[in-house]
A and B are shown apart, each in its own frame.
Chain A
């Protein structure tokens, strides 16, 4: 600890111990604890206490004081725990009987302060920190802490209850680890007394009829199997698994969620040869209700090593609801084994029809679980792609009311699901996920048909519509290409022809979310299919490009931003609205550039301006025809507009654009891999001079230097990187010496210093290339980069500053030396 902190510490301890002083907020106390943790990790706690006796005094004082706040008491308990984590310091504190007074029955445990959850939480955390060595274990046993922890498992404060469970696991782990660990038998007769006590408590809880108690036991075990990897956990499972299995015999199964968590936690750490475990999992799957079994089934299917039989059973659980829907909606009895091993059973039907919430919950979970499984390498094989597609389509049709089931169950399902947005969203997500696989053409046609139905339907809510567009995009992008040709297949083209009138109508929707979704869809479609003749033809024949352009003036800024991105993308592919003047083909394109520049300069919202900058950067990078025509003028105009922008993201994007321009002039930056062995590639002198001339003309340096001292750190960092790159490129340039002495450089440096001081009113004026190079060398860019890499409050974050702040807050310091930030 540095001397200045040592000097401030007694005053701080006095403040903390004084109930009349308003203590700084909880954040300060937390920071203080973090600091003590760091100090004790770096050195001896004992020494710390000996050098700063005020700390022990504080702990004693806390015990004596009657009217101290619960926050300070909690803080003191945690602080004591931090010190006592080192065994010698633990002994030192024990000599003063401080620890029993803090954590024993004579301490806060028996007093009125115990009613405050913060105190109980501090007590647990203190013990959790100090329980690191055998002495601590003896102490715990001696002061009867374990029994208190048992009772705190049922604490009304969830934080306290959860922390109590975790502390039990920590103690158990501490007790069981050690040299004798491997030799301990599952029978536990040779387990340490403390471990036997905890395990006995867990056993009692598992046998209890009180469900919260069972839940507590299961949670403790889940934590143990999830976080402890010692051999003893296997022994523990051998001992407790019969009790866990007995829970399955009860109807309904108690604490099913916690049970599932436990079994999955055990399964993740168990060897694949553990037959008993797999048997328990199989039993659990068959005992739990369809809703409860879903998460377990998904967890089993995600396991790396698991018997095939169990996987089949688990997969069947996930497929059941969909099988049920398929069967109920079938016009005629379908082929047997549509979803093999998952024929709809009556229990599932009853669950689905029991209530709307049960039906919706079950279907949403099944769809979500299957959607998560779909992309995994360990997903069940063979994957029933076709029936799943059929089920997703059927569910969507039931939800839209377009399905006409003839069976009674189908009719009731339809009545429950019709218009249900939650199921619609889940099914559309799932349908989108299924686009990664193939399916028979007939089913794919049905998929596109149901997607179109949703896109057309006025009843589709904006969220459903967004999902429908996302699913459509995925299916369109995954549709097969015509053999021997890079164009879209005939089915997709047919679909596109039907889709475009829908897009037209949706672009005129009074709901801005809908307009936004269409524009996002259009952007993505154009990005991926802009070069395909079928898409281009269909798009150009529609009014979509023109309507998209009109939305650049939309009243909603999100829509304007999306319209900017969409028109930018359309323009990149030459798909923007047809020129207004036939004899002047470039007129419309140029007007788009002007219009986007106008948005950049005048739009009152940040989103459209950011979008314009991204479009411009992309245009410059891709060599958009209109930009390439006069890139210099383009860059100059954009940088001028961006430099004045109040939105830091626009300015940062301006630097991105400047970097692209630099790379185009000077060549790519080196490998992005920081560990790559490569010498910096410098530009040939002739090229460099020419490039610097250009950069000076477009006033890139003015923009970059101004950004270097930007009040927003990301902008300054980006600018620093850009200038470092430029300096690396310009390294061998020899004319710097002379330029460095010129009056031009001196005045620029003076201006920059003023900018750094916050006076950015004065312009830099025209810079000669030589002066630029000299400036790049004279500025300590590396130092600046390191400073910027520090967090903005690195000065204020020092422990000294923290102590000063806390003291200043209560007026102990003569003058307020705290930084105002």
Chain B
């Protein structure tokens, strides 16, 4: 029993090298519970979920007085509701009939067009932004980026919310993220559209529309694409970091990026204070592809592990999908057809090109041209070769040979792979069929892919192979119906699947797991597949868009340093082997989230009152300390002692908290409880002191 239940004695956790003269064998407590200083105990973690998309997350974590945004992914599924932007005038698209209400009212026919039973907005595509109302985004201190796919909403956040903080990301994430943004802006800006549709967004009108427009959420917040100027401004706020680099945030929190194995420069983040650790796992992969392998060990001992960015197609094995991709590609080309691969300009395309490099000769496809068309194609292919330190070991060693780490360099050298910024220009001179074209955008709503869909869609010899898992391929194809070309869906998502997550959680053993609600139940279409959900103990805490979650850990300890001179003055007493205690009288000095115990000021010397009063004089003088007591009082022995000292007629009653010893003759009551003893007698100070001394005999003093 301790008189000071909040005082924690834990020699192992004590960190105080300044103690100097104190014997380390009696290393003693410097850890105090917050309450000891009158700090209000409260949850130290709160998480604001600003995105409902589990693989394009945007969360804000309030942790130890810092506000940290974790990723800012941009959900582009909203663009599927829009008509494609053709690079070349498309009579088919421009002649689509306008849509009218059931009653024949055609007031929306300028905004909405109908194609094979689906209704599309005829306007510049718009994007669904992360929530901006849930939390004042100007209060965000830092933004941590985990990979280049999860930073696409950055300009919206940094340029339009009053954000004044810093963004942390690795160099490849920034460079490739810039390429993705540049491509996106280019795709949209190069097909200017005079018309801007907004009538359909009126709530009263929207509910009259057919699905999926009717069910689209928060359409009023949908925004057009940002500009290059905004992109540049947003990227200028980024500070580059390397794996395992420790970044101090206001002295309170340390953040560290770790390799996540998913993409070039992709990271998970550790956010920790001295006694709490939050791991943010976003878009990680355990497969051996081109990036550095995932660092799992550093995720151990987390209080909370926030888990996002798992594979979107948990039933598809990436290896099988690559096999399927190659088979279908070869089959189409052998039959004289063309293959269109809608893709992003970075990421899986590197692995696909590597697979094809190994496959094309054996499949007799050496003479087939491969075209990579993107405004950033050249930069992407070149960037991939220069980020050696971010690559897996095998690729790193190639650099020292020296050889390019990716074999697409050889494909380019041998003219098997050609890249162009657009279909205009050189491409039209070099173009020959049958061929394989890699181009964006995977949504099929903008970019050069729109042209190829229009060009090749009518022939059943051609094939479009979807490899990016971000969009529903059926919805992507909807405005191209009727379509004769073959469609193959080979989504290649190398991110963690549920089996891998299960192993990872067993390995790193976090106290709590927090994840999007989609991961806590089987997919709606496969409700019996209980293997397609996170299975852990205690069950994962889930969140959804626009929800605030209190993270399940208490703020229990603060680290406080002790000044050497104060440590010198302490006289620890060993109360039991290995545990020593000393009373401390000191001043707690707190600045920049660091706490220091300083020696108390000496009592002011009487100086005749001439000197000017100093600020420190306001501190009250320390009183003479009474000894501290500890131990417990064995009632039976206490009664025997009382009897020995002449008390008789003693009665003992048990109470909920202890005992009451009743001295009937003396009309005195002694209440003995776990942490207090009261002697209640009737103005007989002598008796009280006698009894007090008898009580004290049973307690230890120091």
A interface residues (Cβ-Cβ under 8 A, vs B): 401, 403-406, 410-412, 414-416, 418, 458-460, 504-506, 508-511, 514, 543, 547, 550, 553-556
Name the A residues within 8 Å of B530 (CB-CB): 411-412, 414-415
CA distance A514 to B330 in the complex (A): 15
Take A401-B315, A404-B528 as given contacts and tell me if A508 and B490 are in contact as well, using a CB distance cutoff of 8 Å.
no
Q: How far is the CB of A18 from chain B (nearest CB, A)?
A: 55
Q: CB-CB < 8 A to B361: which residues of A?
A: 555
**CA gap between A511 and B363 in the complex, in Å:** 11
List 6 extra interface pairs beyond A406-B528, A418-B531, A514-B323, CB under 8 A: A404-B526, A414-B528, A416-B531, A509-B327, A510-B327, A543-B331
Q: What DSSP secondary structure best describes chain A's contact surface?
A: loop
Contact A418 B320, beta carbon cutoff 8 Å:
no
Instruction: Bits for B120-156, please: 1 = Cβ < 8 Å to A, else 0.
Output: 0000000000000000000000000000000000000
- Kindly state whether residue B558 has any CB partner on chain A within 8 Å: no
Assembly CA distance A391 to B35 (angstroms): 64
> Of A458, A510, A553, A554, which is within 8 A of B355 by CB?
A510
Evaluate contact between A459 and B331: CB separation under 8 angstroms: no
Assembly CA distance A613 to B531 (angstroms): 51
Interface pair A554/B334, CB less than 8 Å apart: no
B306-344 CB contact bits vs A (8 Å, 1 = yes)? 000000000111001111101110110011000000000
State whether the Cβ of B424 lies closer than 8 Å to any Cβ in chain A.
no
CB contact between A509 and one of B323, B355, B490, B528 (< 8 Å): that residue: B323
CA distance A555 to B362 in the complex (A): 6
Known A-B contacts A458-B490, A550-B364; the reply to A411 vs B327 at CB < 8 A is: no
Give B363's nearest chain A residue, CB to CB.
Answer: A508
B529, CB-defined interface residue at 8 Å: yes
Asked if B359 is at the interface of the complex by the 8 Å CB criterion, the answer is: yes
A508 and B362 within 8 A (CB): no
Min CB–CB distance A303 → chain B (angstroms):
41
Among A406, A415, A508, max chain B CB count under 10 A is at A508
Q: Given A401-B315, A505-B327, are A510 and B529 also a contact pair (CB < 8 Å)?
A: no
Pick 12 A–B contacts, CB within 8 A, sort by A.
A401-B315, A404-B526, A414-B528, A415-B529, A458-B323, A458-B324, A508-B326, A508-B327, A510-B359, A514-B323, A543-B331, A543-B335
Question: Within the complex, what minimum Cβ distance (angstroms) separates B519 from chain A?
Answer: 15
Residues of A within 8 A of B526 (CB): 401, 404
Chain A residue nearest to B317 in the complex (CB) = A459
Chain B residues, Cβ within 8 Å of A411? 528, 530
Which residues of chain B (66-124) have a CB below 8 Å from chain A? none
- Known A-B contacts A505-B328, A508-B363, A553-B364; A547 and B334 likewise in contact (beta carbons under 8 Å): yes
How far, in angstroms, from A550 to B331 measured CA to CA in the complex? Answer: 12
- In the bound complex, how far is the Cα of B323 from the Cα of A454, in angstroms? 15
Partner of A410 from the list B324, B364, B528 (CB cut-off 8 Å) is B528
Contact of A510 among B326, B335, B528, B531 (CB under 8 A): B326
The reply to whether A511 and B528 contact each other, CB–CB distance below 8 Å, is no
- Residues in chain B near residue A418, CB distance under 8 A: 529, 531
Closest 7 interchain pairs by CB? A415-B531, A508-B330, A458-B320, A458-B324, A555-B362, A510-B326, A508-B327
Across the A-B interface, how many residue pairs have beta carbons closer than 8 Å? 71
Assembly CA distance A459 to B321 (angstroms):
8
Give complex CA distance A505, B334 in Å.
11
Is there contact, CB below 8 Å, between A509 and B320? Answer: no
| Bound CA span A403–B565, Å | 73
B interface, CB within 8 angstroms of A: 315-317, 320-324, 326-328, 330-331, 334-335, 355, 358-359, 361-364, 490, 526, 528-531
Distance A412 CA – B530 CA, assembled complex (angstroms):
7
Measured between alpha carbons, how far is A401 from B499 in the docked complex, in Å?
A: 15
> Is A550 a contact partner of B528 (Cβ separation < 8 A)?
no
Q: How far is the CB of A577 from chain B (nearest CB, A)?
A: 12
Residues in A with CB closer than 8 Å to B358 are: 510
- Hey, which chain A residues are within 8 Å of B531, CB to CB? 414-416, 418
Contact yes or no, B334 A510, CB < 8 A: no
- A160 CB, nearest partner CB in chain B, Å: 41
State the Cβ distance, B336 to closest chain A Cβ, in Å.
11
Q: Report how far A53 CA is from B320 CA in the complex, Å.
A: 73
Closest A residue to B335 using CB positions: A543
Contacts of B363 in A (CB 8 A): 508, 510
Q: Across the interface, which residues of B come within 8 angstroms of A553, CB to CB? A: 364
Considering the chains assembled together, what is the distance between the CA atoms of A718 and B358 in angstroms? Answer: 43
- State the Cβ distance, A399 to closest chain B Cβ, in Å: 12
Complex: how many Å from CA A514 to CA B359? 14
| Given known A404-B528, A414-B528, contact A510–B315 (CB-CB < 8 A) | no
A412 CA / B324 CA spacing, docked (Å): 29
Q: Which residues of A contact B328 (CB under 8 A)?
A: 505, 508
Looking at the assembled complex, report how far the CB atom of B317 sits from the nearest CB atom of chain A, in whole angstroms. Answer: 6
**CB within 8 Å for A505 and B331 given contacts A410-B528, A510-B323:** yes
Residues of chain B with a CB closer than 8 A to A509's CB: 323, 326-327
Question: What is the CA–CA distance of A112 and B651 in the complex, to the nearest angstrom?
Answer: 79
Collect the chain B residues with CB atoms within 8 Å of residue A415's CB. 529-531
Whether A459 and B355, one on each chain, are in contact in the complex, defined by CB atoms closer than 8 angstroms, is no
Q: Which residues does chain A contribute within 8 Å of B327, judged by CB atoms?
A: 505-506, 508-510
What A residues does B330 contact at CB under 8 A?
508
Partner of B528, one of A405, A460, A508: A405
A483-B364 Cα distance, complex, nearest whole Å? 45
Once the chains are docked, how many angstroms separate the CA of A388 from the CA of B419? 57
> Closest CB-CB distance, B334 to chain A, in whole Å?
7
CA distance A460 to B317 in the complex (A): 10
CB distance from B365 to the nearest CB of A (A): 10
A504 touches B331 (CB 8 A): yes
The closest CB in chain A to the CB of B530 belongs to A415
With both chains docked as a complex, state the minimum distance between the C-beta of A562 and any C-beta of chain B, in angstroms.
15
> CA separation between A458 and B467, bound complex, in Å?
14
Report chain A residues within 8 Å CB of B323: 458, 509-511, 514
Q: B residues within 8 A CB of A410? A: 528
B321's closest neighbor in chain A, by CB? A458
Chain A, residue nearest B329 (CB): A508
A506 CA / B328 CA spacing, docked (Å): 9
Identity of the chain A residue whose Cβ is nearest the Cβ of B322 in the assembled complex: A510
The answer, among B316, B335, B364, B529, for a CB contact under 8 Å with A458, is B316
Query: How near does chain B come to A387, taking the closest CB pair, in angstroms?
Result: 22
Q: What residue in chain A is nearest B527 (Cβ atoms)?
A: A404
Q: Which residue of A lies closest to B328 (CB)?
A: A505
| Distance to closest chain B CB from A495 (angstroms) | 21
- Shortest Cβ distance from B499 into chain A, in angstroms? 8
Complex CA–CA separation, A543 to B337 (angstroms): 14
Q: Given contacts A458-B490, A459-B317, A508-B326, are A554 and B529 in contact (CB under 8 A)?
A: no
Q: How distant is the Cα of A749 from the Cα of B320 in the complex, in angstroms?
A: 63
Distance (whole angstroms) from the CB of B320 to the closest CB of chain A: 4
Q: Most chain-A Cβ atoms within 10 A of its Cβ — which of B322, B323, B359?
A: B323
Q: How far apart sit A404 and B530, CA to CA, in the bound complex (Å)?
A: 11
B-side contacts of A550, CB under 8 Å: 334, 364
List, in ascending order, chain B residues with CB within 8 A of A406's CB.
528
Closest to B359 in A: A510
Residues of B within 8 A of A510 (CB): 322-323, 326-327, 355, 358-359, 362-363
CA distance A506 to B331 in the complex (A): 9
Closest-CB distance, B333 to chain A (whole angstroms): 9
Closest residue of B by beta carbon distance from A410: B528
Q: Which residues of B contact A547 (CB under 8 A)?
A: 334
CA distance A403 to B531 in the complex (A): 13
Closest chain-A Cβ to B599's Cβ sits at a distance in Å of: 62
**Contact present for A401 and B529 (CB under 8 Å):** yes
- What separation, in Å, do the CA atoms of A550 and B361 have in the docked complex? 13
- List of B residues within 8 angstroms of A401 by Cβ: 315, 526, 529
**CB of B377 to closest CB in A, whole Å:** 25
Contact of B334 among A405, A458, A508 (CB under 8 A): A508
B48 smallest CB distance to A (angstroms)? 33
Q: How far is the CA of A459 from the CA of B491 in the complex (A)?
A: 12
Q: How far is the CB of A252 from chain B (nearest CB, A)?
A: 28
CB-defined contacts of A458 to chain B, threshold 8 Å: 316-317, 320-321, 323-324, 490
